[in-house]
Amino acid sequence: MSTFTHRTALVTGAGRGIGKAIAETLARHGVTVICVSKSADSCGATAAAIVAAGGKAKALAVDVADGAAVAAAAEGLLKEFPAIDILVNNAGITKDGLLFRMSAEDWNDVINTNLSSCFHWTKALARPMTRARWGRIVNITSVSGIMGNAGQANYSAAKAGMIGLTKTLAREFASRNITVNAVAPGFIKTDMTTEFVNNPEISAKVLEAVPLKRFGEAADIANMTAFLCSEEAGYITGQVFAVDGGMAM
């Protein structure tokens, strides 16, 4: 994969886990990365690590579920950066529970953070991409959005919604040379999964469903995402790539 030093990317949820790995991988390819997370400390730490390694990065704390906050943040960024060519919608949360025990608040929080955030950021950043006739959008969905998962009605609905959004925007933006794809991680070792990854009984049960019989690393998702953001991936759009040890095949 060639370097893409002249590109700028915005990665949401870049403070930890998969988003951090995506931000660092893009930065290693020469991309200037705007690292977004909810807390200033976590995106600040990722941006600082990128800069310490010789890359270019900026930290930005914004609640991606808040449409007005995203619009205001994007307006400021577009004054500072001539182009934001790459958008990775990765920020996400889980609030699991069986349907009868799931509150409307937990439903809304998960839909707003995982799905509505993609609408807010894409709406705010895609217009300059259309003018530039170049853009890459990658949405980090989940195998739960493909297969469903008991206890995750809110999360799997949000992640399935991201797949529908990806395919629709791929069609809407294709004539402007903007590709829109989704990456669907399986079980990846991050803060989100610590509870069961560190529990031998639960992890043995979970791994029964994974043909490769191990958990994935954040780097596995970052490598696929960086490829989809590259020049070489220019003829790929509207696709969902499961990176899941074979779980969803």
Binding site for ligand NAP (CB under 6 A): 12-13, 15-19, 37-39, 42, 63-65, 90-93, 113-114, 140, 142, 185, 187-188, 190-193
- Strands 178-185, 32-37: pairing kind: unpaired
Minimal distance in Å, beta carbon 56 to ligand NAP?
Answer: 20
Minimal distance in Å, beta carbon 187 to ligand NAP?
Answer: 5
Say which DSSP state 84 is in: -
Minimal distance in Å, beta carbon 5 to ligand NAP?
Answer: 25
Of the pair 166, 190, the CB lying nearest ligand NAP is at 190
Of the pair 37, 230, the CB lying nearest ligand NAP is at 37
Of the pair 169, 247, the CB lying nearest ligand NAP is at 247
CA distances from 90 to 114, 131, 158, 200, 213 (A): 8, 24, 12, 28, 25
Which is nearest to 9 in space by CA: 235, 229, 158, 243?
Answer: 229
Contact 142, 156 (CB under 8 A): yes
| Catalytic residue list | 155
Of the pair 131, 213, the CB lying nearest ligand NAP is at 213
Minimal distance in Å, beta carbon 75 to ligand NAP?
Answer: 17
Minimal distance in Å, beta carbon 40 to ligand NAP?
Answer: 8
Cα gap 200→124, rounded to integer Å: 43
Both tokens assigned to 6: 């002249």
The pairs formed by 54-60 with CB atoms below 8 angstroms and a separation of 24 or more are: 55/24, 55/27, 55/28, 55/30, 56/27, 56/31, 56/32, 57/23, 57/27, 57/32, 57/33, 58/32, 58/33, 58/34, 59/35, 60/34, 60/35, 60/36
Cα gap 182→42, rounded to integer Å: 24
Q: Enumerate the β-bridge partners of residue 59.
A: 35
Of the pair 8, 114, the CB lying nearest ligand NAP is at 114
The helix or strand, by DSSP H or E, that contains position 145, with its residue range, turns out to be helix 143-147
Contact 197, 217 (CB under 8 A): no
